[in-house]
Structure 1
Amino acid sequence: MSFTQTLKDIEQNEWIDIPAGWLQGRTIFGGLVAGLLMHKAVTTINDPSQHLLSVSVTFVGPVQEAKAKMTAEILRQGKSVTTIEVRLWQDDAVQSILLASFGMQRESSIHVRNEIQAPDYPAVDELKILPKNAFAPQCFQQFELAWAEGHYPCSASDKPDFGGWFRFDPELHENRVMSVADLMILFDVWPPGVLPMFKSMLPASTLTWHVTYVHPIQHQIHDWFKYKVVTEYAGEGYATEYAHIWDADNRLIAISRQTVTVFA
């Protein structure tokens, strides 16, 4: 089953088939899981005037390439803001939970534009697109990444963090208008910020993920975006990091914060 067909099934059914080609080790890529949950939230609310404000995802357990049940509950629908919870179930257990707030734009006298400026990376055609080799997770095949700063994962670097350009692979994904579900999937393709410090291939996975959306998405899925991650703290088997995503015009789109489990 294709990714686009899975999205259509979410709109019509409670049970879906997780599409093939998205494995990350022995489980499904967390970005895809978050994107499926987000699509369920958007279609449940079904109100174009409600824009995503923020979302939190907890990856409770591993999601397998199999059938999954998705349930959604609108917790509160106020005059401006709607809060919704979506759960993904497999084997009669909750494996992932999304909690999101959508809201309508309101008039306000408060205006602050203290946004972090986009890094001045070289153009994509001046950089090398990372090869899709056998050592990369299966889900990596769905995207194109061009490293612009920092060290590669598992390079025994004495410093974490990196940044670069990224997008969906045009050879695998037909161009169309990007949704917030698409952006959730794309956003998560970068590995944890501490991975350059790894000396060998060892596990690291997101435990909790919070995203705040700054500017509405007005893009196609073939468009390039910039990404930069900063690790604030790592120790005792966990890491805390934040990241920003900008479009090609250096417009800040979203801010991410993750708690990562580290097995190195």
Structure 2
Amino acid sequence: MKNLSQYFELAAGSEPFSIDPTWAQGRSVFGGLSAALLLVHIEQQTGLTDKELRTLNVHFSGAITADEPCQLSYETISEGRSVIQVQARLLQGNQCKTLVMACFAKNRDSDIRHQAEILTPSKSREQAQKMPFIKGVVPDFIQHLDLRFTSKALPFSGADQGIITGYMNFNDPHSEFNDASVVALIDAWPPAVFPMLKGPAPGSSVTWNIEFIQPRTELAQDDSLYYECEVKQADLGYAHTEAKIFHPNGELIAFSRQLVAVYDKR
């Protein structure tokens, strides 16, 4: 069983590797991990050091099988003086399973400045309810994470609104809390539409957009991020969700938007 840091080391290279079943999410490997690995691959293979990550767009195009070789590849799509866009793919059996497009931008001087409000969560991390790892009830990858709910309605409780909030970190904090770490954590939460369901039903992310705020305060190894997500619209088997992610000091560090497929009627 490998932790996140060990997989980041593998993703930095060009050799195929497999992902063990403890990172599974149903019949597939956890999508947040696959997106994070592709981001690591891009950053390490391109050597981008003078530009900040601004956006990451993710397309989940197929289930990733645990214990089967994965091949990562990247291609620079465009490169200008300020902005570079790089595409990366995770392949299994010569089929693309996850595709990402990352946009990195060089900081520039500007007179336009508008800062988001500082967040003060309604509950402390110690007051929040930790999601327990129960084999066969929650996804296997949850055993690696520390997710703590502050929202009132839990998944499958038949709530009127789709809202999920809480704290997130890893059970085994790794050497560096970087952008790829944040990517893995954001996708770990149940979709915000799940509290609206009256009983268990499958759901999966189809597409995902993350926007990283710059500048922002660096993260320490044991920091817990705060997550706020709500359903903006849902109908015809799909839900559009929007989330904000906050530093422990209340500073906004990222936006996250997902299209989620919901299979409550099959």
Per the normalisation by structure 1, the TM-score is 0.93
* Structure 2: gaps spanning 5 or more residues: none
Distance 1:54 1:126, change over 3 A: same
Distance 1:32 1:175, change over 3 A: closer
What do the CA deviations read for 1:68-98 (whole angstroms, capped 9, x no partner)?
1111001122111111000011121111100
Equivalence map 1:10-25=2 (5 Å): 10-25=11-26
1:62 aligns with 2:63: yes
Amino acid at match of 2:196: M
Task: Give 1:58's aligned amino acid.
Answer: H
Tell me the secondary structure at the aligned position of residue 12 of structure 1.
Answer: coil
Equivalent residue number for residue 208 of structure 1: 207
Counterpart in 2 of 1:263?
263
Give 1:228's aligned residue. Answer: 228
Does the Cα contact within 8 Å between 2:128 and 2:166 map onto a contact in 1? Answer: no
| Contact 2:13/2:45 (<8 A) preserved | no
Counterpart residue type for residue 31 of structure 1: G
Work out whether 1:248 is the aligned partner of 2:248: yes
Spell out the pairing of 1:100-249 with structure 2 (5 A cutoff): 100-113=102-115, 115=116, 117-134=118-135, 135-169=137-171, 173-215=172-214, 216=216, 218-249=218-249
Structure-1 separation of matches of 2:15 and 2:73: 7
Q: Between the two proteins, what is the percent identity of the paired residues?
A: 27
Structure 1 range deviating more: 7-16 or 40-49: 7-16
**SS of alignment partner, residue 34 of structure 2:** helix
Task: Give the paired residue count.
Answer: 260
Q: Deviations over 1:206-256 (max 9, x none)?
A: 000000001346113421111111111101010001000001110001000
Q: Deviations over 1:101-137 (max 9, x none)?
A: 0011111121122x25525321111233222223111
Separation in 1, partners of 2:212, 2:232: 21
| Change in CA separation of 1:234 and 1:241 when aligned onto 2, cut-off 3 Å | same
Q: CA RMSD in A?
A: 1.6
Q: Report the counterpart of residue 32 of structure 1 in structure 2.
A: 33
